Amino acid sequence: RRNVLAIISSVATFIGREQVKLLYPLALPLLHDCLADQTNLFMREEALQAWYVYLRLSSSYEPTLGDLFECCATRISLDLRHLPVLMKIIEMYVLLGGRAFLGQHALTLQATLRSVVSQEINPRATSYFYLVIETILRAYPVDGGSLLLHSDVLQMFIRACASNHFGGQDCDPDRVIVLYLAALARVFLSDPRVMDTLLPVVQLASGTFHRENLVDLYLAKFQVAGNGAHGLMLQKLYMMFLLSIPMSHSHQTTNEVLENCTYILRNRKDSLLPYSVGHDEEDNIIDVGDYDVLVAQHMQADIVSSTDLSLAVQIWQRKLAALHSETVT
């Protein structure tokens, strides 16, 4: 059967996007058998790769693709060895299916994400997990935020941020925290009420993590967030969030926000690139279909891409001046 999986992937790649649907009646039941049947565990990695190839080659979302996700995703999430390819598969479902996919399979997606966050995953695996989170929130920040809240994902993110802020033992490293902060910023920008739901976080050993601590953490991780090709996008997202919240900042905090915004504006000639995961040598790189086109379409509709940061800073400064005037009066 491993040979069969390789063959159906090769045939799909050969005939291309226009005709790949013709192979669904043969390929999708085979993938289901390989992924759902416990006696076929030894073929799971090959089946997942074939599944991903078919999604990459699909020009549109089909209910039969959704049926395969419904049957297999949560079960596979229990085995972290397959997490990277499973997350890339879910990313493709969101890119292809959009609201149709999220509406039909929200409960299964919640269960799958909850299964992942209930396990200990390393920073490399987290980078793939965040690929799904970013794709959901970039296109559907409100509905996606609600889904992540009901999956306990946001709760895990904010607890991890609190632990990092207080220097807790075994806290997640900065390269993980900057991703959690980005996800929280997207959710809080779209629905500030979620922040009131998640904060404060009581850290019994270290103290209580308040909104002011969260602001400090965004500023402390600003430079780290700038690492990588997508760094400027994350940094702009951080500042957009800080400019959006009620202003009870100290003079030093206000200056830091302005300095960071100035840095971003000085570098705005550089394109904002989407979040991506760099490949390791052992990664099986699959480069077929119009993946880049789908991501580019998402980026065009992304609030981070469309927001005029210079205008946002001007509005923020006017509000600061008005607040200062009221205080003096």
How do residues 57-89 score in pLDDT, each as one tens digit? 999 999 999 999 998 888 888 888 899 999 999
> Under a CB-based contact definition with an 8 Å cutoff, are residues 277 and 128 in contact?
yes
Question: Mean pLDDT throughout 210-234?
Answer: 95
Q: How confident is the model at residue 285 (pLDDT cuts 50, 70, 90)?
A: low
pLDDT at site 248? 64
CA distance 225 to 221: 6
Dihedral pair phi/psi, residue 201, rounded to 5°: -105, 125
Question: Mean pLDDT throughout 50-59?
Answer: 94
CA distance 85 to 282: 12
Q: How confident is the model at residue 18 (pLDDT cuts 50, 70, 90)?
A: confident
Question: Is residue 45 pLDDT above 70, yes or no?
Answer: yes
Written as one letter, the residue type at 327 is T
In b/e form, how buried is each residue of 36-67, taking b as 16+ CB within 10 angstroms?
eeeeeeebbbbbbbbbbbbbbbbeebbeebbe
185-206 per-position pLDDT tens digit: 999 999 999 999 999 998 767 8
Question: Is residue 3 pLDDT above 70, yes or no?
Answer: yes
Q: Which helix (H) or strand (E) holds 208?
A: strand 207-209
Closest CA to 187 of 246, 235, 146: 146
Question: Mean pLDDT throughout 257-279?
Answer: 89
144-160 per-position pLDDT tens digit: 999 999 999 999 999 99
Question: Mean pLDDT throughout 266-281?
Answer: 82
Query: Cβ neighbours of residue 102 under 8 Å, at least 6 residues apart?
Result: 94, 109, 136, 140, 143, 144, 147
pLDDT at site 266? 93
Question: Mean pLDDT throughout 240-256?
Answer: 84
Question: Mean pLDDT throughout 225-251?
Answer: 89
Question: Is residue 307 pLDDT above 60, yes or no?
Answer: yes
The more confidently predicted of residues 94 and 1 is 94
Question: Is residue 7 pLDDT above 60, yes or no?
Answer: yes
Query: Cβ neighbours of residue 149 under 8 Å, at least 6 residues apart?
Result: 155, 187, 194, 197
> Under a CB-based contact definition with an 8 Å cutoff, are residues 8 and 46 in contact?
no
Strand partners, 203: 207
Closest CA to 22 of 11, 33, 32, 30: 11
Question: Is residue 282 pLDDT above 60, yes or no?
Answer: no
Q: What rounded mean pLDDT belongs to the chain?
A: 90
Question: Mean pLDDT throughout 33-61?
Answer: 88
Structure tokens at 179: 């991703």
Query: Cβ neighbours of residue 141 under 8 Å, at least 6 residues apart?
Result: 186, 187, 189, 190, 191, 303
Provide the whole-model pTM: 0.93
CA distance 141 to 133: 10
pLDDT at site 29? 93
Question: Is residue 279 pLDDT above 80, yes or no?
Answer: no
Q: Considering the chain, what percentage of its residues have pLDDT values greater than 90?
A: 71
Structure tokens at 264: 């971003």
> Under a CB-based contact definition with an 8 Å cutoff, are residues 35 and 72 in contact?
yes
> Under a CB-based contact definition with an 8 Å cutoff, are residues 145 and 102 in contact?
no
Residue 122: how many other CB atoms lie within 10 Å = 11
In this structure, of 41-45, 71-75, 98-102, the range with the lowest mean pLDDT score is 41-45
CA distance 94 to 190: 19
